[in-house]
């Protein structure tokens, strides 16, 4: 546990103790008021009420302790003197009740037990985070920076730490990350010094990262401490009845590499996830991004995107959220049709054949336009609409089950597997859209249980 996290938890514990003292002393003083109808004159009761108001305004239990101590001594001598000279049984009961309430005041109450529970929960889940995965070019790095900027405005009390795990992010990094794995290994340098190709260099980088797990965790702890200090120093405390500083748990955003070598040829990613989960008590959620313009280009590409998403879900064994990034690159017509692609688990029966025939019509039209490309003997402005209508009619008459071809049957069989799991669905994302970022952030928080 980092020093800043211990300091923050100690501050919250101290504030919780103040609230606990105020609640229990209020109950005890209420009992004393009822009990003092025969023991105190009117001016003494007024003085006691003024003292209560003063102590509540100072938010400290020390004056209460002095008051209760002297008042308890007075009751002690008063009751026992009455007992020696013929006190009634009611006086003994009165003294016993006062003693019980004074003992209960010193015992840990419900708020104290709740503090212990909160402390245990803080140890069990000290941090939250998301693993941003996806194929190369899906917008992972842009999303990480957009998420950091969004949280700085939407939730400024949440300390955000960015971790870059891609050693090939050279000269395209749009933000200064808090922890950068390129400080220990660089893809370009490995290719130059070791004489390896792109894929072999990724495997080499993965082995170097696996041997430096302690360095990565230490850098993350240092970055968390810096961010916690920044949030505590800059974020104004919200005035509450308990005086708590509403600082949320640290949030770790991991920019994962998109190359499959990190997941199939090496166990570095799985080992890193386990280390971060155990040593830093971090609850992760996998955020898998696919390019909306690429994945909705045709049905076969969409099926491969769904298969990649469910493979990542099974491989990571973590809460999972699928995202179609770059939603703003789609035209209005494509975005309307793209709503169908968001429902992957309900895609089969009514949409698969329709979209397959739609892509066949589009490809035939593109083929016709290519044949009508202007040359010395043709005119590009002359488009035979009858041929276009004939092509559309021919496509509608095709029996896909009989004449669909191998690609159609293979894609449909794979989509049957995806549909059988019933787990794949996508969230549209435009990094510049605050509404989309807010919906995605809430869904991720629900997936990892980040409600504090």
Q: What is the pLDDT of residues 435-449, one digit of tens each?
A: 999 999 999 999 988
Instruction: Say yes or no: 347 and 331 in one domain.
Output: no
Could you give the angle at the alpha carbon of 188 between the alpha carbons of 186 and 194, nearest 5°?
A: 90
Taking the CA of residue 383 as centre, how many other CA atoms within 13 Å lie in the half-sphere pointing to its CB? 11
- The whole-number average pLDDT for the span 178-184 is 89
Residues 6 or more apart from 62 whose CB is under 8 A from it?
Answer: none
* 6 or 288: which leads in pLDDT: 288
The strand ranges marked E within 101-158 are 127-133
- The whole-number average pLDDT for the span 395-399 is 61
Long-range contacts of 348-353 (CB under 8 A, 24+ apart): 348/412, 348/415, 348/416, 348/419, 352/299, 352/412, 352/415, 353/400
> Residue 318: pLDDT above 60?
yes
Instruction: Say yes or no: 181 and 265 in one domain.
Output: yes
Q: Which two tokens stand for residue 335?
A: 């975005």
Q: Pick the last residue of a domain from 77, 98, 119.
A: 119
Q: What's residue 265's pLDDT?
A: 63
Instruction: Say yes or no: 400 and 312 in one domain.
Output: no
Residues 6 or more apart from 368 whose CB is under 8 A from it?
Answer: 383, 384, 387, 388, 391
Instruction: Say yes or no: 189 and 251 in one domain.
Output: yes
Tell me, yes or no, whether 227 lies in a domain: yes
Q: What's residue 52's pLDDT?
A: 52
Instruction: Say yes or no: 248 and 308 in one domain.
Output: yes
The least confident of 127-141, 207-221, 231-245, 253-267 is 231-245
Instruction: Say yes or no: 318 and 279 in one domain.
Output: yes
Instruction: Say yes or no: 97 and 162 in one domain.
Output: no
Q: Pick the last residue of a domain from 119, 146, 168.
A: 119
The strand ranges marked E within 47-146 are 127-133
Could you give the angle at the alpha carbon of 335 between the alpha carbons of 363 and 394, nearest 5°?
A: 25
Residues 6 or more apart from 122 whose CB is under 8 A from it?
Answer: 9
Sign of CA dihedral 439, 258, 290, 415: negative
> Residue 11: pLDDT above 90?
no
Instruction: Say yes or no: 191 and 320 in one domain.
Output: yes
Backbone torsion region of residue 87, taken as left when φ is above 0, otherwise alpha when ψ lies between -120 and 50, otherwise beta: beta
Tell me, yes or no, whether 283 lies in a domain: yes
Q: What's residue 3's pLDDT?
A: 52
Tell me, yes or no, whether 379 lies in a domain: no
Tell me, yes or no, whether 142 lies in a domain: yes
Q: What's residue 124's pLDDT?
A: 38
> Residue 339: pLDDT above 60?
yes
Q: Which two tokens stand for residue 248?
A: 């949320």
Instruction: Say yes or no: 217 and 92 in one domain.
Output: no
Q: What's residue 6's pLDDT?
A: 54
Tell me, yes or no, whether 378 lies in a domain: no
Instruction: Say yes or no: 109 and 9 in one domain.
Output: yes
Instruction: Say yes or no: 220 and 351 in one domain.
Output: no
Task: Tell me the CA distances in angstroms from 368 to 127, 311, 333, 382, one per residue in order.
Answer: 57, 38, 22, 12
Q: pLDDT grade, residue 325 (50/70/90)?
A: very high
> Residue 280: pLDDT above 60?
yes
Q: What's residue 414's pLDDT?
A: 84
Percent pLDDT > 70 in the chain is 57
Percent pLDDT > 90 in the chain is 12
Report the domain count for the chain.
3
pLDDT in tens, 100-151: 555 554 554 444 434 433 443 444 347 899 999 998 888 898 899 899 999 9
**3-class DSSP state for residue 179?**
strand
Give the residue ranges of DSSP H helices in 163-267. 187-194, 198-211, 213-234, 261-264
Q: What's residue 350's pLDDT?
A: 65
Tell me, yes or no, whether 84 lies in a domain: yes
pLDDT in tens, 407-433: 888 888 888 887 777 778 899 999 999
Instruction: Say yes or no: 392 and 334 in one domain.
Output: no
Domain span at 41: 3-119
Q: Pick the last residue of a domain from 119, 143, 175.
A: 119
The least confident of 216-220, 394-398, 430-434 is 394-398
**CATH number of the domain where residue 249 is located:** 3.40.50.300
Q: What's residue 37's pLDDT?
A: 46
Tell me, yes or no, whether 375 lies in a domain: no
- The whole-number average pLDDT for the span 9-22 is 52
Tell me, yes or no, whether 376 lies in a domain: no
């Amino acid at each position: 546990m980092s020093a800043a996290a211990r300091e923050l938890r100690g501050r919250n514990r101290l504030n919780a103790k103040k609230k606990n003292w105020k609640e229990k002393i209020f109950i005890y003083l209420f009992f004393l008021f009822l009990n003092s109808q025969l023991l105190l004159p009117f001016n003494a009761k007024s003085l006691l009420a003024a003292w209560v108001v003063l102590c509540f305004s100072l938010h400290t239990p020390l004056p209460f302790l002095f008051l209760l101590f002297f008042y308890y001594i007075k009751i002690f001598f008063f009751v026992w003197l009455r007992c020696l000279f013929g006190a009634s049984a009611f006086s003994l009961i009165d003294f016993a009740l006062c003693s019980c309430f004074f003992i209960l005041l010193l015992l840990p109450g419900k708020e104290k037990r709740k503090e212990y529970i909160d402390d245990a929960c803080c140890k069990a889940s000290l941090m939250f985070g998301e693993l941003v995965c996806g194929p190369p070019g899906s917008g992972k790095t842009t999303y990480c920076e957009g998420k950091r900027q969004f949280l700085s405005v939407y939730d400024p009390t949440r300390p955000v730490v960015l971790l870059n795990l891609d050693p090939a992010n050279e000269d395209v990094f749009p933000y200064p990350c808090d922890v950068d794995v390129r400080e220990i290994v660089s893809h370009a340098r490995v290719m130059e010094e070791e004489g390896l190709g792109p894929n072999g260099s990724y495997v080499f980088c993965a082995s170097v990262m696996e041997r430096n797990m302690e360095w990565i965790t230490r850098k993350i702890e240092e970055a968390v401490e810096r961010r916690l200090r920044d949030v505590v120093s800059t974020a104004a405390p919200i005035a509450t009845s308990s005086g708590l500083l509403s600082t949320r748990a640290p949030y770790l955003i991991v920019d994962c590499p998109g190359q499959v070598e990190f997941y199939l040829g090496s166990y570095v990613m799985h080992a890193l996830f386990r280390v971060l989960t155990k040593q830093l008590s971090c609850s992760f959620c996998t955020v898998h991004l696919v390019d909306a313009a690429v994945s909705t280009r045709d049905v076969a590409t969409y099926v491969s995107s769904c298969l990649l998403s469910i493979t990542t879900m099974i491989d990571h064994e973590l809460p999972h959220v699928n995202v179609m990034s770059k939603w703003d690159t789609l035209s209005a017509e494509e975005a309307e049709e793209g709503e169908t692609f968001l429902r992957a688990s309900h895609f089969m029966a009514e949409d698969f054949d329709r979209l397959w025939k739609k892509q066949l019509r589009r490809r035939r039209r593109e083929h016709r336009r290519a044949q009508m490309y202007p040359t010395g003997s043709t005119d590009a402005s002359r488009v035979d609409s009858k041929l276009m209508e004939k092509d559309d009619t021919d496509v509608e008459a095709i029996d896909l089950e009989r004449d669909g071809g191998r690609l159609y049957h293979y894609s449909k069989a794979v989509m049957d597997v995806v549909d059988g799991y019933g787990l794949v669905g996508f969230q549209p994302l435009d990094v510049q859209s605050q509404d989309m970022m807010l919906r995605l952030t809430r869904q991720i928080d629900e997936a990892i249980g980040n409600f504090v």
